[in-house]
């Protein structure tokens, strides 16, 4: 279902048109959820859905775009340029562009690609329903692209106004989905798929419910989810670093919540955090997070940092590198600052060259690599539960994830077998002994006794 720009260079082969629909999806897990809902909507309204390929004719081709960063918008343009060639080959195909970038750059894109239809409404499913004159559903179902885990988007939009971010301008204010609707969505998923793990996503999952009339919280939602018998793991991504320690303790204490905290910090320098319009608490916040490891030995703490923000001198950058060494986060992602048009950060003084940003990004990753290897090697000979998701009969090897790995952003766990474990074990949570670990790979064997 997902396509990257460099995958869109297949040779085009003209053939007769078929009455089919397809979708090209770009961007984050939130876009994946939207894509899965679009696919279900199409299937339930009489469309024959197939994965996209340039050699296949389609009646409708939907392009779900991301507009968060300049690189994402460049990917949109690359994809649409390739689809112009596809359109020349299959002129009857209706190419419909939607999502974040279609909303953010509606006028520009519609001018650049006049042969395409652009749906710039933020309510994408309603927009498609009106465009195709289809039946609308109050609770949209999903066609899960991975059989054993599913993302659940619990809110849309954002009330934070980070100086570098376009999300509030693109998505609008924070709007939680009601608990009743979310629980029904989960039940719909579990009735149709062998999903063992539900992964909660939003721009800020910790803010869930603050805008609802009944004031339901994330804790309330997760407690209700934990009562669903078929569900085994619950993972919360994109928590915001404003909650106190009790918030995280209460969340981790809920049955079925995996010991994994994803809290994007973006920087550690108070000066840079102020410029970012991010929380700039003292080090006690991070210190308190790491005290949780005493209570939850398997706890994994993941975060992200931006390097090269305007005004970041060598001093502030070294603060970041020192924090990596001091705290030794289990998982870290880094991004080089991108000046997005229309944000406050775009006009800030002290911008850095692309060469400096690239150097700092590279050095940060090198620093974290050695720390990640050290952290992973502490797992050697430990027994940990893993969700088995795939089996390679040639290598006689399973791939899966433990508590420590979120899909798409963290490494997969490689699990060797003796050949006696058939495919039916896929989708099961099994105990594994870790036999090898480096910075980005964990290997082990299934426990057979």
pLDDT tens, 158-216?
999 999 999 999 999 999 999 999 999 999 999 999 999 999 999 999 999 999 988 89
Residues 26-38: what's their mean pLDDT? 93
pLDDT tens, 289-339?
999 998 998 899 999 999 999 999 999 999 999 999 999 999 999 999 999
Total tally of structural domains belonging to the chain:
3
348 and 405 assigned to the same domain:
no
Using CA atoms, how far apart are residues 93 and 308, in angstroms rounded to an integer? Answer: 43
Instruction: Categorize the per-residue pLDDT at 2 as very low, low, confident or very high, splitting at 50, 70 and 90.
Output: very low
Is residue 74 over pLDDT 60?
yes
Tell whether 141 is covered by a domain.
no
Last residue of a domain, one of 71, 104, 132: 132
- The CATH number covering residue 280 comes to 3.80.30.20
179 and 312 assigned to the same domain:
yes
Beta bridge partners of 98: 64
370 and 389 assigned to the same domain:
no
Tell whether 214 is covered by a domain.
yes
224 and 329 assigned to the same domain:
yes
- Full residue range of the structural domain in which residue 88 is found: 5-132
Instruction: Categorize the per-residue pLDDT at 141 as very low, low, confident or very high, splitting at 50, 70 and 90.
Output: confident
Instruction: Categorize the per-residue pLDDT at 15 as very low, low, confident or very high, splitting at 50, 70 and 90.
Output: very low
Q: What is the mean pLDDT of the chain?
A: 90
Strand, coil or helix: what is 442? strand
367 and 400 assigned to the same domain:
no
Q: What b-and-e string marks burial along 181-217, b requiring 16 or more CB atoms within 10 Å of the CB?
A: ebbebbeebbeebebbbbbbbbbbbbbbbeebeeebb
Last residue of a domain, one of 351, 377, 403: 377
pLDDT tens, 191-203?
999 999 999 999 9
Instruction: Categorize the per-residue pLDDT at 6 as very low, low, confident or very high, splitting at 50, 70 and 90.
Output: very low
273 and 350 assigned to the same domain:
yes
Q: Tell me, what's the pLDDT at 422? A: 66
250 and 214 assigned to the same domain:
yes
pTM, 2 dp: 0.91
Q: What is the dihedral of CA 68, 69, 72, 78, to 10 degrees?
A: 130
372 and 388 assigned to the same domain:
no
22 and 92 assigned to the same domain:
yes
Residue 47 CA from chain centroid, whole number:
27
Tell whether 144 is covered by a domain.
no
373 and 388 assigned to the same domain:
no
Q: Tell me, what's the pLDDT at 358? A: 97
161 and 261 assigned to the same domain:
yes
pLDDT tens, 75-122?
999 999 999 999 999 999 999 999 999 999 999 999 999 999 999 888
């Amino acid at each position: 279902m997902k396509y990257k720009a460099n995958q869109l260079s297949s040779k085009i082969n003209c053939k007769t048109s078929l009455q089919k629909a397809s979708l090209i999806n770009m961007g984050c897990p939130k876009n994946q959820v939207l894509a899965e809902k679009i696919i279900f909507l199409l299937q339930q309204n009489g469309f024959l859905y197939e994965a996209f390929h340039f050699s296949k004719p389609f009646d409708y081709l939907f392009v779900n775009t991301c507009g968060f960063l300049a690189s994402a918008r460049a990917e949109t343009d690359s994809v649409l340029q390739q689809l112009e060639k596809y359109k020349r080959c299959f002129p009857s195909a209706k190419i419909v562009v939607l999502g974040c970038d279609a909303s953010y750059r509606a006028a520009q894109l519609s001018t650049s690609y006049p042969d395409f239809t652009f749906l710039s409404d933020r309510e994408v499913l309603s927009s498609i329903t009106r465009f195709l004159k289809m039946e609308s559903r109050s609770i949209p179902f999903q066609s899960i692209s991975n059989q054993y885990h599913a993302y659940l988007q619990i809110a849309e939009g954002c009330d934070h106004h980070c100086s570098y971010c376009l999300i509030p301008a693109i998505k609008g204010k924070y709007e939680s989905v009601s608990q009743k609707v979310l629980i029904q969505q989960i039940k719909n998923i579990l009735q149709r798929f062998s999903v063992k793990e539900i992964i909660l996503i939003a721009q800020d999952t910790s803010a869930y419910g603050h805008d609802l009339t009944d004031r339901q919280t994330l804790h309330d939602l997760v407690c209700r989810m934990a009562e669903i018998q078929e569900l085994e793991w619950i993972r919360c991504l994109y928590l915001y670093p404003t909650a106190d320690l009790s918030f995280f303790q209460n969340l981790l204490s809920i049955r079925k919540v995996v010991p994994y905290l994803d809290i994007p910090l973006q920087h550690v320098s108070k000066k840079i955090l102020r410029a970012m319009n991010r929380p700039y608490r003292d080090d006690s916040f991070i210190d308190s997070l790491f005290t949780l490891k005493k209570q939850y030995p398997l706890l994994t703490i993941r975060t992200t940092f931006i390097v090269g923000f305007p005004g970041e001198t060598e001093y502030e950058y070294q603060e970041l590198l020192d924090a990596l060494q001091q705290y030794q986060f289990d998982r870290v992602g880094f991004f080089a600052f991108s000046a997005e048009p229309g944000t406050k950060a775009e006009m800030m003084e002290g911008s850095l060259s692309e060469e400096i940003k690239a150097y700092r990004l590279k050095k940060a990753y090198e620093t974290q690599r050695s720390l990640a290897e050290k952290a992973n090697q502490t797992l050697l000979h430990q027994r940990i539960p893993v969700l088995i998701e795939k089996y390679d009969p040639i290598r006689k090897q399973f791939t899966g994830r433990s508590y420590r790995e979120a899909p798409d952003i963290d490494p997969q766990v490689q699990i060797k077998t003796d050949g006696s474990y058939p495919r039916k074990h896929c989708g099961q949570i099994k105990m594994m002994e870790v036999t090898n670990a480096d910075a980005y790979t964990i290997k082990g064997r299934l426990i057979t006794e």
